[in-house]
Structure 1
Amino acid sequence: MLITAYVLAIVLDVFVLFIGVRFLLAPQAAAAGYGVPAKKEGDAAYLTVKGLRDSGYGILGLALLAFAGAHAEAWFMLVAALLPLGDTAIVLRNGGTKATAFGIHFATAVIVLISAALLFAA
């Protein structure tokens, strides 16, 4: 179970890092994938903030796992699950589809909570 907990945590952290880098390098495509397409003009700050936020959380998660261990990573995952829950609401409130809101963001929150539970049990 320890290996599963660590692998899932690493995959989630790397995935969030990838999403952040994508927002920095291909912001329009990343925003469309998020579920709320960005305006061609005027959304540069939103896209950059999203990219930095996600990149930072991915790096923080990896650092916690490497240097503080499973218990610290579990607390991080528990708190970090609030972000995709918030993303679910953002997509729904801004004209995104329910499929994107629940199939991507809400599902991500559930997986992050599963990761937290596995890490607490490890």
Structure 2
Amino acid sequence: MNLRRITTILTVLLALAPISFGLNFLFNPLGAASGFGIDPWPTGNAGGYYLVKAGRDLFLGLNLLVLLALGQRRATGIAMALVTIVPVFDMVAVLTHGGSVATALGIHGLTAVIVAAVAVLLLRERPLVQVNGAELPKSEARIN
């Protein structure tokens, strides 16, 4: 399996993850909140936070999938690099609001590192060109 295919699989998985989190916050807000790392969670009108969290996560994942589906791998890499800030802010929120360091670093910090690594892989890819029916990196293609 080549690096491009591995990067594609990782990108799809990293896009589906926030979509699943968003759907969980949308349909099971209290259950989803328990795994985030901050306790207690908002109640009453402040519970509107769950909808905000759901919308944010759905938006992030869907944007990455759309860019990837359109073949915009460089744009996907740039978006992925920007998305890295979301788990960083989640980590800071957990650390500054009474959550455990293990949850902050183990869930949110590790997620930020993985997202950043996949972004770097996407940004390092070279465009492919068609040569005699085969797709080759532009640097390897010899057009006669």
Q: Same fold, TM exceeding 0.5?
A: yes
| Greater fraction helix | 1
Give 1:39 shift.
Answer: 3.3
Mapping 1:33-52, distance limit 5 Å: 33-37=35-39, 38-52=41-55
1:103 counterpart residue number:
106
Does 2:85 match 1:85? no
**Partner of 1:34: helix, strand, or coil?**
coil
Identify, as 1 or 2, the structure richer in strand.
2
| Equivalent residue pairs, number | 122
Take 1:109 and 1:41, find their aligned partners in 2: how far apart are those partners? 31
Query: Equivalent residue for 1:30?
Result: 32
Confirm whether residue 8 of structure 1 aligns to residue 10 of structure 2. yes
Report the structure number with the largest CA radius of gyration: 2
1:60 Cα deviation after fit: 0.7
Superposed displacement of residue 40, structure 1: 3.9
Unaligned runs of 5+ in 1: none
Give the CA RMSD over aligned residues: 1.1
How far off is 1:68 after superposition? 4.4
Length-normalised TM-score, structure 2: 0.81
C-alpha separation between the residues in 2 aligned to 1:43 and 1:56?
21
SS in 2 for 1:43: helix
TM-score, normalised to structure 1, is: 0.95
Q: Larger relative CO (CA 8 A, sep 6+): 1 or 2?
A: 1
Name which of structure 1's ranges 107-116 and 32-41 shifts more when overlaid on structure 2: 32-41
Find the residue that maps to 2:65 and give its secondary structure: helix
